[in-house]
């Protein structure tokens, strides 16, 4: 069955169409990732799915197709947590998810950060940008990622390194100019044996994210409506999430005041004017340099909103991994990791910094 057939199944309005089955969803994204469909048909299909709205069953089928086409590292590795922020980055918030991952690794967790760079539609600043500025620490090789985790407990991998078919879709995504189901699917290219921390947008998608995590077989996980839909909790207000284990799903609230980590402002990137036409914030060398400097300042213990948000993010990662039973204990472990210099040592190991 081709994407053109499935477009007819979706129909031209909500009355004459229907949702896709898991099998249809799986076959659709398999066709997309192997490159057997034209850019026009792929764009039409992604647009139709965005217009219709994606069901849990469809997302599970899409994500499973992506995983089956990918080379995913660390499958079966004990104690691993995969951290999956939005891959199109941010124009205003520094990529502190990488600092949170390093701090959680310094506290004993094995952390695989899945990221990307220059991804439409936003093409904002990501962890990959910060690591580039710091001299490395991002791999496209799944084997190398697994080796890094074995040696240092941390690795950051570019999603297209696991699934090259993502690169072929950048032109289509850029021309569409809006987020499509690919935005969710690429965050879920993670080992099914790992715990996961996934950023979710505001609204009902939080519950959807958790149900998809369950359907993909993850033993533990946290979906969090962090800053700009990322994995970093807010330091100005409480952040909603849902924690999933083998036996339950429970609401999770991150209240920065409970841990003495509240701030009147969120961490932010400096302003350097609007991006050039056709480019995003992640193409701006000044912003990339600033992102790297902010990460280094946090790991050096500089006080402020960036440090507070990073510590909360590390606590969420540690709780998702099962290393700590409460966020309070996660914050304590994160502070110890940061103050001891262990997180910075891990960064030097993977980037070669002196």
- For the stretch 83-133, pLDDT in tens is 999 999 888 899 999 999 999 999 999 999 999 988 888 888 999 999 988
Q: Are 262 and 308 in contact (CB under 8 A)?
A: yes
What average pLDDT does the chain have?
92
Q: What tens digit of pLDDT does each residue of 62-72 get?
A: 999 999 999 99
> Could you tell me the pLDDT band of residue 276, with boundaries at 50, 70 and 90?
low
CA pair distance 65, 60, nearest whole angstrom: 9
Shared domain for 141 and 16, answered yes or no, is: no
- Residue 74 counted as domain residue: no
Q: 246, 238, 218, 260: which is closest to 83 by C-alpha?
A: 218
Q: What is the CATH number of the domain that holds 40?
A: 1.20.970.10
Question: For 280-307, what is each residue's pLDDT tens digit?
Answer: 777 888 889 999 999 999 999 999 999 9
User: Of the candidates 26, 45, 69, which is a domain's last residue?
Assistant: 69
pLDDT category at 10 given cuts 50, 70, 90 is confident
Q: What is the pLDDT of residues 13-56, one digit of tens each?
A: 556 678 899 999 999 999 999 988 999 999 999 998 988 889 99
Query: Are 28 and 140 part of one and the same domain?
Result: no
C-alpha–C-alpha distance, residues 335 and 259, integer Å: 11
With a cut of 90, say whether residue 137 has pLDDT above it. no
How many angstroms separate the CA atoms of 240 and 222, rounded? 10
Q: Do 53 and 117 reside in the same domain of the chain?
A: no
Q: Answer whether residue 317 shows pLDDT above 60.
A: yes
Q: Is there a single domain that holds both residue 46 and residue 176?
A: no
**Would you say residue 144 has pLDDT above 90?**
yes
Q: What is the CATH number of the domain that holds 167?
A: 3.40.1030.10
Same domain, residue pair 316 and 229: yes
Residue 199 and residue 139 share a domain = yes
**Amino acid 12: pLDDT:** 62
Q: What is the pLDDT of residues 224-238, one digit of tens each?
A: 999 999 999 999 999
The domain in which residue 273 lies consists of 80-351
Query: Are 65 and 186 within one domain?
Result: no
Within this chain, do residues 52 and 113 fall inside the same structural domain, yes or no?
Answer: no
Sequence-distant (≥ 6) Cβ neighbours of residue 320 within 8 angstroms: 81, 195, 196, 197, 220, 221, 222, 243
Banded pLDDT at 353 (limits 50, 70, 90): low
pLDDT band for position 201 (50/70/90)? confident
> Is residue 75 one of the residues assigned to a domain?
no
pLDDT of the residue at 247: 72
Shared-domain flag, residues 87 and 65: no
Looking at the structure, tell me whether residues 146 and 59 fall in a common domain: no
Higher pLDDT, 147 or 1: 147
**Is 53 within a domain?**
yes
Identify the CA nearest to 44 among candidates 4, 72, 80.
Answer: 4
Question: What is the pTM assigned to this prediction?
Answer: 0.94
**Is residue 161 scored above 90 in pLDDT?**
yes
Three-class SS of residue 2? coil
As for how many domains the chain has, the answer is: 2
Same domain flag for 152 and 278 = yes
Q: What gap in Å lies between CA 25 and CA 188, rounded to an integer? A: 15
Q: Residues 47, 105: one domain?
A: no
Sequence-ordered list of residues with C-beta below 8 angstroms from that of 85, at least 6 positions apart, any chain: 95, 97, 115, 126, 127, 187, 199, 230, 231
Tell which of 69, 100, 125 closes a domain.
Answer: 69
């Amino acid at each position: 069955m081709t994407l053109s057939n499935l477009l007819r199944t979706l129909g031209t309005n909500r009355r004459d169409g229907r949702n896709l089955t898991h099998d249809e969803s799986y076959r659709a994204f398999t066709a997309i990732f192997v490159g057997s469909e034209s850019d026009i048909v792929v764009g039409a299909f992604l647009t139709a799915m965005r217009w219709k709205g994606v069901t849990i069953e469809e997302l599970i089928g899409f994500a499973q197709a992506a995983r089956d086409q990918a080379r995913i590292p660390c499958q079966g590795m004990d104690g691993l947590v995969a951290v999956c922020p939005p891959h199109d980055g941010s124009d205003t918030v520094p990529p502190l998810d990488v600092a949170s991952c390093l701090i959680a690794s310094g506290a004993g967790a094995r952390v695989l950060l899945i990221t990307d760079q220059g991804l439409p539609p936003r093409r904002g600043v990501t962890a990959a940008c910060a690591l580039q500025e710091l001299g490395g620490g991002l791999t496209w090789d799944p084997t190398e990622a697994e080796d890094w985790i074995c040696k240092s407990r941390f690795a950051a991998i570019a999603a297209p390194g696991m699934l090259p078919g993502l690169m072929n879709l950048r032109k289509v995504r850029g021309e569409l100019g809006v987020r499509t189901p690919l935005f969710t699917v690429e965050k879920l290219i993670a080992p099914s044996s790992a715990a996961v921390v996934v950023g979710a947008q505001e609204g009902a998608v939080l519950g959807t994210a958790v149900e998809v995590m369950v359907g993909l077989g993850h033993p533990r996980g946290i979906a969090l409506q962090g800053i700009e839909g990322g994995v970093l909790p807010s330091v100005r207000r409480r952040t909603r999430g849902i924690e999933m284990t083998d036996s339950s799903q429970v609401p999770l609230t991150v209240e920065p005041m409970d841990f003495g980590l509240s701030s009147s402002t969120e961490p932010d990137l400096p302003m350097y004017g609007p991006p050039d036409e056709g480019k995003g914030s992640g193409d701006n060398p000044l912003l990339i340099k600033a992102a790297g400097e902010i990460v280094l300042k946090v790991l050096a213990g500089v006080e402020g909103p960036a440090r507070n948000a990073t510590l909360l993010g590390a606590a969420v990662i540690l709780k998702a991994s099962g290393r700590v039973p409460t966020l309070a204990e996660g914050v304590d472990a994160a502070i110890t990791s940061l103050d001891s210099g262990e997180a910075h040592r891990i960064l030097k190991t993977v980037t070669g910094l002196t």
